[in-house]
């Protein structure tokens, strides 16, 4: 059996955890990293966080909230067999626009490398894998309207096939990121959470997406 053990979310001005039932306002993404270190949501500073594009910052924050919500600790020298699967409504469109505007502004001969890094939709997921030590499968998919449910289904199938011991499922756009941690029920039977086989899961996800704005 597979269980959802942690759910973290972040919008442009607010973030929270579902199982721990907490939410908090924040002022800006620039100061968010130091705030998260102070709260021990980041166990140590995220390398180059200040250079991340907006969505990568939000995705890393949502992952930190999710691990914390599930009671999962991480350490700089430790690797975990956690995979990451993500999707989004616009991929990395805004980062591509920023890079190519910079490229045009520089005479169509040069573009800043730190902007180019974020022109792949999988880059925010890779930043999560680097900081949190996740060495399981990593992939970005394009899905339809019920993308969170699709991600959970994909992630659950990957755990069932023993491709990873746990999975992060991340639905991200420029205004909102929702991150969910899935683990096997045998390993986390003492934890609160939702079994992905439960019929109430659809209603829970719908309520979650509606309530976070």
Tens digit of each residue's pLDDT (9 = 90 or more) over 145-184 = 557 888 888 999 999 999 999 999 999 988 899 999 999 8
pTM for this one? 0.85
Q: What is the pLDDT of residue 111?
A: 52
Region of residue 130 (phi > 0: left; psi between -120 and 50: alpha; otherwise: beta): alpha
The residue segments making up the domain with residue 150 are 2-211
DSSP single-letter state for residue 1: -
CATH code for position 12: 3.40.47.10
When pLDDT is cut at 50, 70 and 90, the band that residue 205 belongs to is: confident
Q: How many domains does the chain have?
A: 1
Neighbours of 104 (CB within 10 A): 10
Distances 182 to 23, 90, 126, 164, 200 between C-alpha atoms, Å: 21, 25, 18, 10, 16
């Amino acid at each position: 059996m597979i269980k959802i053990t942690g759910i973290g979310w972040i919008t442009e001005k607010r973030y929270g955890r579902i199982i721990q039932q907490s939410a908090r306002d924040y002022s800006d993404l620039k100061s968010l990293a130091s705030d998260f270190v102070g709260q021990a949501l980041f166990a140590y500073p995220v390398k180059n966080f200040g250079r991340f594009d907006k969505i990568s910052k939000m995705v890393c924050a949502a992952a930190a909230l999710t691990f914390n919500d599930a009671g999962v600790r991480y350490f700089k020298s430790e690797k975990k067999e956690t995979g990451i699967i993500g999707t989004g409504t616009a991929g990395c469109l805004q980062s591509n626009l920023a890079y190519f505007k910079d490229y045009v502004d520089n005479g169509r001969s040069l573009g800043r490398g730190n902007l180019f890094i974020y022109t792949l939709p999988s880059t925010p997921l890779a930043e999560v894998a680097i900081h949190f030590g996740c060495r399981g499968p990593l992939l970005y998919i394009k899905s339809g309207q019920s993308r969170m449910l699709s991600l959970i289904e994909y992630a659950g199938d990957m755990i069932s096939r023993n491709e990873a011991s746990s999975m992060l499922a991340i639905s991200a756009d420029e205004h909102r990121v929702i991150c969910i941690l899935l683990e096997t029920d045998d390993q986390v039977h003492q934890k609160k959470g939702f079994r992905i086989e439960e019929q109430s899961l659809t209603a829970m996800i719908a309520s979650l997406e509606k309530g976070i704005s």
